[in-house]
């Protein structure tokens, strides 16, 4: 039997992060399946079990072993690049582990240690939330309730639709619940699964009533009455008949109710104001024009910061996206080696990204920032000379001092990973102890190409930056007089397919007083007319 330090010896230790937001953490789960398979195989040969229990455990041993082979590391990223597959991965995992736990009873110390290392139910919650979020934001292209010409495999089953619809109900997301429950109803009807259909209709009646769709509520109640009469449950029938009469009364009497119950009209549904309209359109790749959208043609140039030694032989390739706002993009500023170094340095430190409080938007409304899904790991300059050189290069391109800069914040976003609209500055400068003043500038490295989704968008200026491996977006957070710029509201769009890696670096005011002095022109207190670097 393997020693009690089994997990340490195998090196399969999950970090305190969200598993679905890290490919490395997902692979650790696959490795754990292999370890569990071996331990269960040893268990059934050393413990007296009845025939049925042993047979069921043998099936799980085979399944776990086969999955650990089929999901080899080189195949895992492609296999886990679709939202439905990620959801099923965790759904099946939770179901299998619960059944194995019942079969083995007390088990062994080794098996219990392994079981404890697997992700918990909240990972399944995150996977389901990702599907809901993607459908709400991206619409038809992220609707996984219907088969597509090029993909009939990654379609939600009736039971999966019911599960996700139930989660929407738990979160008071009525429109989402209706979307998934109605499709579940169709599939349960097609499969003649009457018990599941009745349970779905019960939920649909409540949902339709909540949204004022009494014709639909009446129709589904009549379907329930028809079924329960056929099985002789008269007590239930009487209760449902009372409900039907109430719906008829609400609809204006029997004649009017009969017309309304034919479902000839679309049902009403008030969508959740979860996403800012500009944010949603920009994430979908659509054009958004605001009063602050840059009307000038985009400009690209090579920048050396007055022939600075770090840029003289390899000038920064700068693309100006919005000159008044100071939003630009630097192409090819990281090498493959530097990218891998950043990712490796952060992965062992990953934890679920922290959530900050809401702030007031430009129109006075409060921006709720409690919605975020990613992993965060901080990488410090002192850890590696290469990291130090990367920080110096960024500071040189921005022409800012490195002394009050924060370490690299490396982020990993999985399927549905996102960060709703927010500011990087804070009205209370004490929010950044030890860094000296407010965040004067933001720099974001993109560490991979994202298959679909994952843009960084700026709703107030109608701009979107799409991840480009080795490139970086950067902008100013403050006006010349040091006051926050409300226009730089930004957000990370949900990842629709694949994974997204990025790394933030923030620069603060202290040490940059002479790098970025106040201007004599009072208008520049409110508007910036220069980007970080001028054309050379």
Tell me the H-state helices in 254-410: 254-260, 277-283, 309-312, 336-347, 385-398
* pLDDT score, position 73: 77
Whole-model pTM above 0.85? yes
Higher per-residue pLDDT: 470 or 22 = 470
Which residues neighbour 37 within 8 Å (Cβ) at sequence distance 6 or greater? 60, 61, 64, 65, 68
Give the residue extent of every domain in the chain.
1-140, 331-525
User: Is the distance from CB of 194 to CB of 206 less than 8 angstroms?
Assistant: no
Q: How many residues does the chain have?
A: 536
SS3 184: helix
The two counts, helices (H) then strands (E), for the chain are 17, 18
Residue 184: partners with Cβ closer than 8 Å, 6 or more residues away: 158, 159, 161, 162, 165, 196, 200
pLDDT of residue 279: 93
**Torsion angle, alpha carbons of 346, 352, 358, 361, to 10:** 50
- Is domain 331-525 in CATH 2.60.120.620, yes or no? yes
Q: Indicate if the pLDDT at residue 262 is higher than 70.
A: yes
328 bridge partner residues: 320, 474
The arithmetic mean of pLDDT across residues 485-504, rounded, is 94
pLDDT confidence of residue 425: 92
The percent helix, strand, coil of the chain (3-state, each to 5) is: 45, 15, 40
Higher pLDDT, 8 or 144: 144
Q: What is the pLDDT of residue 326?
A: 84
**Mean pLDDT of the 249-273 span:** 82
> pLDDT tens digits, residue range 308-340?
999 999 999 999 998 877 899 999 999 999 999
Residue 138 burial (CB count, 10 A)? 19
Quote the CA–CA distance of 486 and 423 in Å, as a whole number: 8
Report how far residue 16's alpha carbon sits from residue 350's, in angstroms, rounded to the nearest whole number. Answer: 7
Query: Lowest-pLDDT range, 120-129, 283-292, 449-458, 511-520?
Result: 511-520
Say whether pLDDT at 242 is over 50.
yes
Could you tell me whether strands 316-322 and 495-497 are parallel, antiparallel, or unpaired per DSSP bridges? unpaired
Kindly report which listed range (79-83, 112-116, 521-525) carries the lowest average pLDDT score: 521-525
Which of the 8 DSSP states describes residue 533? S
Q: What was the pLDDT predicted at 142?
A: 93
pLDDT (0 to 100) of residue 520: 66
- Residue 526 pLDDT more than 70? no
Measured distance CA(408)–CA(339) in Å, rounded? 12
pLDDT over 90 percentage in the chain: 65
What does the pLDDT look like over 225-240, one tens digit per residue? 999 999 999 999 999 9
DSSP 148-167: BTTBSSS---HHHHHHHHHH
In this predicted structure, the answer to whether residue 366 has a pLDDT above a threshold of 70 is no
Give the pLDDT confidence score for residue 528 in this predicted structure: 39
Q: Cα–Cα distance between 286 and 281 in angstroms, integer? A: 5
Q: Where residue 468 falls among pLDDT bands split at 50, 70, 90? A: very high
User: Collapsing DSSP states into helix, strand and coil, what is residue 450?
Assistant: coil
Lowest mean pLDDT among 125-134, 135-144, 151-160, 521-530: 521-530
pLDDT at 12 over 60: no
Q: Closest Cα partner for 80 from 128, 23, 31? A: 23
For the ranges 63-77, 153-167, 441-455, the lowest mean pLDDT is seen at 63-77
Under DSSP, the state recorded for 524 is G
Greater confidence (160 vs 359) lies with: 160
Query: Of the given ranges (245-249, 383-387, 475-479), which has the lowest mean pLDDT?
Result: 475-479
Q: Which of 263-272, 338-347, 359-368, 378-387 has the lowest mean pLDDT?
A: 359-368
Quickly count: other Cβ atoms within 10 Å of residue 34's Cβ. Answer: 17
Average pLDDT score over residue span 183-204: 97
Exposure string for 275-298, b = 16+ CB within 10 A, e = fewer: bbebbbbbbbeeebeeebbbeeee
């Amino acid at each position: 039997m393997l020693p009690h330090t089994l997990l340490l010896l195998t090196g399969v230790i999950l970090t305190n992060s969200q598993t679905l937001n890290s490919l490395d953490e997902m692979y650790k789960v696959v490795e754990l399946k292999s370890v569990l398979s071996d331990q269960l195989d040893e268990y059934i040969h050393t413990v007296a079990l009845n025939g049925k229990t042993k047979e069921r455990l043998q099936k799980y041993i085979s399944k776990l072993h086969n999955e650990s082979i089929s999901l080899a590391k080189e195949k895992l990223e492609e296999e886990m690049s679709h939202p439905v597959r990620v959801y099923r991965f965790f759904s099946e995992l939770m179901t299998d582990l619960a059944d194995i736990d019942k079969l083995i009873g007390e088990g062994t110390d080794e098996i219990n240690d392994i079981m404890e290392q697997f992700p918990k139910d909240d990972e399944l919650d995150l996977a389901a939330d990702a599907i809901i979020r993607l459908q709400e934001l991206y619409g038809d292209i992220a609707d996984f309730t219907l088969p597509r010409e090029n993909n009939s495999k990654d379609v939600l089953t009736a039971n999966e639709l019911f599960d996700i619809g139930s989660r929407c109900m738990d979160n008071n997301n009525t429109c989402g619940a209706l979307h998934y429950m109605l499709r579940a109803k169709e599939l349960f009807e097609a499969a003649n699964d009457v018990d599941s259909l009745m349970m779905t209709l019960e939920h649909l009646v409540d949902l339709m009533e909540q949204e004022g769709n009494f014709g639909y509520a009446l129709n589904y109640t009549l379907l329930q009455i028809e079924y329960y009469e056929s099985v002789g449950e008269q007590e239930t029938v009487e209760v449902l008949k009372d409900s039907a009469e109430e719906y008829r009364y609400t609809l204006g009497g029997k004649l009017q109710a009969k017309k309304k119950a034919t479902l000839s009209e679309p049902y009403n549904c008030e969508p959740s104001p979860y996403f800012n309209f500009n944010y949603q359109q920009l994430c979908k790749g659509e054009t958004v024009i605001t009063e602050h959208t840059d009307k000038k043609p985009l400009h690209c140039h090579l920048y050396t910061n007055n022939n600075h030694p770090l840029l003289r032989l390899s000038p920064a390739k700068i693309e100006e996206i919005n000159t008044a706002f100071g939003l630009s993009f630097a192409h090819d500023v990281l090498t493959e080696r530097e990218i891998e170094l950043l990712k490796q340095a952060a992965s062992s430190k990953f934890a679920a990204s922290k959530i900050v409080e809401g702030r007031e938007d430009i129109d006075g409304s409060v921006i709720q920032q409690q919605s975020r899904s990613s992993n965060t790991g901080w990488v410090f300059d002192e850890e590696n000379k290469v990291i130090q050189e990367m920080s110096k290069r960024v500071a040189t391109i921005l022409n800012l001092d490195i002394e009050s800069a924060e370490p690299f914040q490396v982020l990993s976003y999985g399927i549905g990973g996102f960060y709703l609209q927010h500011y990087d500055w804070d009205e209370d400068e004490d929010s950044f102890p030890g860094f000296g003043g407010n965040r004067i500038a933001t720099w974001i490295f993109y560490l991979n190409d994202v298959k679909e989704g994952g843009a960084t968008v700026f709703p107030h200026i109608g701009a979107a930056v799409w991840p480009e491996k080795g490139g970086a977006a950067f902008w100013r957070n403050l006006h010349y007089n040091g006051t926050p710029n409300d226009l730089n509201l930004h957000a990370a769009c949900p990842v629709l397919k694949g994974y997204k890696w990025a790394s933030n670096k923030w620069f603060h005011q202290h040490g940059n007083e002479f790098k970025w002095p106040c201007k004599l022109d009072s208008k520049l207190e409110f508007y910036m007319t220069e980007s970080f670097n001028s054309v050379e």
